[in-house]
Amino acid sequence: MTPEMLYALRDPAGVPSHPLVFLVLGVLTFALHIAAVQVMLGAATLTLRGAFSPSLHWRRLAQAMLVTAKIAVSVAIVIGVAPLLFVQVVYDPFWYTSNVLSAWWVIGFIVLLILGYIAMYAFYWKNHDIVADGGRGGIWMVLSIALLLAVGFIVHSLTNQMLFPEHWMAWYAPKDVVNPDGHSLHYWHLPRFLFFIALSAPVTGAWLYGYRRYLQGAKETDAAYLGWLRGLAQNLMLIGGVVSVLIGALWMATLPEKMAWFASSVWLLMAVVALAAVVALPLVLRDRIDRGVWGYAIFGAGAVGLIVVGAAREMLRFVTLLGTHGYNAMDYKINMDWYSTGLFFTTFGVVGGVTLAYLLTVAWQAGQSKGLYTPSATVTRIGQWSVGLLIGWTVLYFAVGFFVWAR
């Protein structure tokens, strides 16, 4: 596949802003998405481990993690749309080709995602009080985790297929016989997939530190439970971090020849340093974890670490496609659209910021209150603003659409 053919597959309309904007947003939203995915996997696994345990500590944690897991799935789905959109903007010749080659799986992964979410809710419906009653219907959570992992594997395969245009014709017409059915996944790299799955252990450990600090803020009286949580969180971060590094090393040792440069790159070094710093942070903070916002800072540092990992992942893609296939995402034709660009950042910063601030404030204050929680006048006002902004955004969206249609 020559560079000229790849450039010919681009959208002739160009992109509505500088390609760097989409690359940066792709990294940031991927990091948020993968964080939600890893929290979901970790929380679901802890739920399965704890729900059937005789230990009250494990069953209490399972109850909390079950709620966390089902919310994390929703967050992962919503945020996961964004990095896919940004990828298809600047890498459209590669992303769309990969999707066409495996079209059956592109549709199928949505079905599997729905079934996985339903299976998790089936377990949730069967377990209203895990602490008192223990777990029921564990097969539903096993099925949910398996289906959600399958969804991740499909997206992993699609993302990797786009990096191998030299094989596209062989996949589309094996032995010179055209096969357009889209029934096959053509490429995957298991160590790479397992690396991101293994990261769910240290990320979940960081999440547990935040959960523990939240309980402390709510004046939790069970000191034994808090101490047990700290030990579990630390083990998840340390042991999970070591396992992730080992799997990452296997990934680097098995890189395809055209990607071998990445194993000795500064980008990999930055990612390793960032992850090591996050894993070491609880050991550095020690008892400060129990004061102020330090308990939450560990998960915040983990999010930053995932952004660094996401940036390294993006550079692996960018440099591989540029160096091996002559495709430069940065020279995409720009057809500047100030309205859509401004609308996006306004939606993200103002509408999303106010709405998220309200939801987080209510969640925080409700958890720190005893008995019935009643929001203050200020919090209520923020909630009213968030609703008003969402209504205004919706009206503006349809008004512009009707205006363009009428012209």
The phi and psi torsions of 336 (rounded to 5 degrees) equal -60, 125
pLDDT band at 270 (very low <50, low <70, confident <90, very high): very high
Record the tokens describing residue 105, joined without a space: 């799986």
What's the pLDDT at 372?
80
Q: Are 11 and 26 in contact (CB under 8 A)?
A: no
What's the pLDDT at 3?
86
Question: In this model, does residue 340 exceed pLDDT 90?
Answer: no
* pLDDT digits 0-9 by tens, 118-144: 999 999 999 989 999 899 999 999 999
Record the tokens describing residue 2, joined without a space: 């020559």
What's the pLDDT at 309?
96
Average model confidence (pLDDT) for the chain? 93
The residue among 147, 103, 106 whose CA lies nearest residue 123 is 147
pLDDT band at 196 (very low <50, low <70, confident <90, very high): very high
Q: Any residues with CB less than 8 A from the CB of 232 and at least 6 apart, and which?
A: 61, 205, 208
What's the pLDDT at 187?
95
* pLDDT digits 0-9 by tens, 282-292: 999 988 998 88
The residue among 190, 1, 193 whose CA lies nearest residue 94 is 1
Stronger pLDDT, 401 or 237, i.e. the higher one? 237
* pLDDT digits 0-9 by tens, 206-239: 999 999 999 998 888 899 999 999 999 999 999 9
What's the pLDDT at 175?
86
Record the tokens describing residue 294, joined without a space: 């330090």
Query: How many Å apart are CA 339 and CA 336, to the nearest integer?
Result: 9
Question: In this model, does residue 367 exceed pLDDT 80?
Answer: no
The residue among 372, 255, 373 whose CA lies nearest residue 319 is 255
Record the tokens describing residue 217, joined without a space: 């803020």
Residue 168, CA distances (Å) to 93, 164, 227 in order: 12, 7, 54
Question: In this model, does residue 370 exceed pLDDT 80?
Answer: no
Mean pLDDT to the nearest integer, 193-204: 97
Q: What angle do CA 104, 142, 159 make, to 5 degrees?
A: 35
pTM score? 0.93
Lowest average pLDDT, out of 267-281, 315-329, 389-403, goes to: 389-403
Query: How many Å apart are CA 122 and CA 127, to the nearest integer?
Result: 9
